[in-house]
Structure 1
């Protein structure tokens, strides 16, 4: 009997079986190895075939790329030629346009330079005007400062109102019709005394308006200051109106109405708007508050009255001149009638001359016709003579 070498899977294996099992195992492993090698060779062959296909595909791609490259080279060459011609055309066009733009630019620069020179000349003229205006403004500012200094002084303010009043009166009336700072019989001296026509009493004009109290009223800010300034201005006005009525009303010498001159239209309007009681009190005391425009109007009325009186005084001279004028007109009418008769006689003479010239014309025509008849008969006699 054979010896048992090992046991497995529930049985005992002898040496022969063990050898056979080993050989079978080797055979199986060999077959498996051969199959694995065959599979590996087949994979290699497949990889080689795939590689060959890929190489062929790559060669086709390379051929296509070479063909595309050659086409691209041709196209690039064509495009380079086109670009070259287009570039030369573009360069020429750009050159022409640059030259045109340069010409227009030079022209525009020249026009701009001319306009700039004209503008600068005008600017210089305007600057000169501005300089003159500035100097004028400086002079006006100096005058305003002087006016402020004048208004800051009470006597200067009185002189300012007196100056405006004197200018209005002197511009509207003849020199013999007014007198400044005249002395009355009671030794008072009004600012102006206007001589009225028809032996009427003289009109008194006072220019001493209480401007200081008015300026305090304008400068007041708080209600208490405004109240005090209003009371002060009302009191000054009443005192001044009373002084005018007491000093300047003299029966037979001065008119029963006097003017209180206010040197500003704004102040005049404000007095009538805010101080109606002062205006009424002045009227009751026969003192009329007048502004520059009202004083000018009153002076014009006085001027018209003076002119009317002067015309009435010289009425007989005017009547004599009118009579002489009528005599001259009658003489002129007679001379016109004589001239008209001369013209009529001249027209008749011209008509007679025209009649005579018409007769002369007709006779000359007849003579001319007779001449033609004689000429025709002479021609007929010449034709009848034998040659």
Structure 2
């Protein structure tokens, strides 16, 4: 039963009872005082008004109940949708957690690789090789190239003379740099920086001595640093090392700067190829001109032969005409004898 029906029932029964009481009193009017009958009539009217008011309030309460039920249903639907979205987000979080765990394992493996000098060198060499293969044609590259001096370069970029082939070395001393980053005191930081600068200079000297061969390579070589952080620290904190490397014609590059250098070298290779093709076209045109000259000579000789043949034909025609006339004379002589 609704709230409106519960509110309407008692008042309706009370109003009905009062109406019956007034009717009975009216039937027994001589024995009932008029004031009582009037009061009961007023009370019945008040109860009737209260009944109508209660009915109106009941209808309003019923409307409120309907709205409340609709709101509750909407809230239940929203809660269900929120729980569904929460479940989806939890599944996404589970997937992200799994990916994070896998990434953590990969970072741990990478840290183990970087802590090993040989593995770190192989990683830098693979990175350098990938950059070279992406930027330059395969015909211009030679990996693990052995020079005439017996030194083996990690890569050789075959450029035309000048400047000539350029050797690329991908090995770089990082132990001192790791100590520099891990230093906790100024003294340890200064000592590690001094060791780092000495290691880099020693490696620069070795690259300049092994990979710059007069008449065989260019007058400089490329030293590839497989870390942007090391490259930035080297130029920011050790400019004297970079200047010394430049004086020794050793160009220190990072993955980003090496790609810029390779882009320039690719343009040089394109220009050299265009020059070779232009020379080939010029040689072809020169041969074509020679062929045209020989053709002209042959045409001239043929014209001479044709002129000689024409003269010979005219001579033959003259001889034939002379023979014809002489034959005519012989025929005329024989006719006179007859």
TM bracket (short chain): 0.5 to 0.7
Tell me, yes or no, if structure 1 residue 276 matches structure 2 residue 276.
Answer: no
Tell me, yes or no, if structure 1 residue 246 matches structure 2 residue 218.
Answer: no
**Partner secondary structure for residue 197 of structure 1:** coil
Paired position in structure 1 for 2:55: 92
In the TM superposition, what are the counterparts of 1:214-253 in structure 2 within 5 Å?
214-253=177-216
Change (3 A) 1:96 1:285: same
In the TM superposition, what are the counterparts of 1:1-387 in structure 2 within 5 Å?
84=47, 87-197=50-160, 200-315=163-278
**Partner secondary structure for residue 215 of structure 2:** coil
When the two structures are superposed, what TM-score results if normalisation uses the length of structure 2?
0.65
Change (3 A) 1:202 1:99: same
Task: Give how far 1:261 is off.
Answer: 1.2
Distance 1:307 1:248 in 2: 24
CA deviation string 1:91-129 (max 9, x = no partner): 334422332222222222333333334434433333333
Task: Give how far 1:173 is off.
Answer: 1.3
Change (3 A) 1:163 1:228: same
The answer as to whether partners of 2:163 and 2:219 remain within 8 angstroms in 1 is no
RMSD: 2.9
Task: Give how far 1:90 is off.
Answer: 4.9
Task: Give how far 1:277 is off.
Answer: 0.8
Task: Give how far 1:228 is off.
Answer: 1.1
Task: Give how far 1:316 is off.
Answer: 8.0
**Partner secondary structure for residue 146 of structure 2:** coil
Distance 1:318 1:79 in 2: 126
Distance 2:41 2:149 in 1: 127
Change (3 A) 1:102 1:240: same
Distance 1:136 1:113 in 2: 34
Change (3 A) 1:287 1:198: closer
Task: Give how far 1:132 is off.
Answer: 2.7
Task: Give how far 1:264 is off.
Answer: 2.1
The answer as to whether partners of 2:162 and 2:218 remain within 8 angstroms in 1 is no
Change (3 A) 1:245 1:107: same
Task: Give how far 1:229 is off.
Answer: 0.5
Structure 1, unaligned runs of 5 or more: 1-72, 320-387
Higher Cα Rg, which structure: 1
Paired position in structure 2 for 1:376: none
The answer as to whether partners of 1:172 and 1:300 remain within 8 angstroms in 2 is yes
Structure 2, unaligned runs of 5 or more: 1-35, 283-338
The answer as to whether partners of 1:198 and 1:309 remain within 8 angstroms in 2 is no
Paired position in structure 1 for 2:324: none
CA deviation string 1:303-347 (max 9, x = no partner): 12222333333348999xxxxxxxxxxxxxxxxxxxxxxxxxxxx
Change (3 A) 1:239 1:108: same
Distance 2:46 2:152 in 1: 111
Distance 2:66 2:123 in 1: 70
Paired residues, number: 247
Task: Give how far 1:79 is off.
Answer: 9.7
When the two structures are superposed, what TM-score results if normalisation uses the length of structure 1?
0.57
**Partner secondary structure for residue 167 of structure 2:** strand
Distance 1:79 1:173 in 2: 110
Q: Which of the pair has the greater relative contact order for Cα pairs under 8 Å at 6+ separation?
A: 2
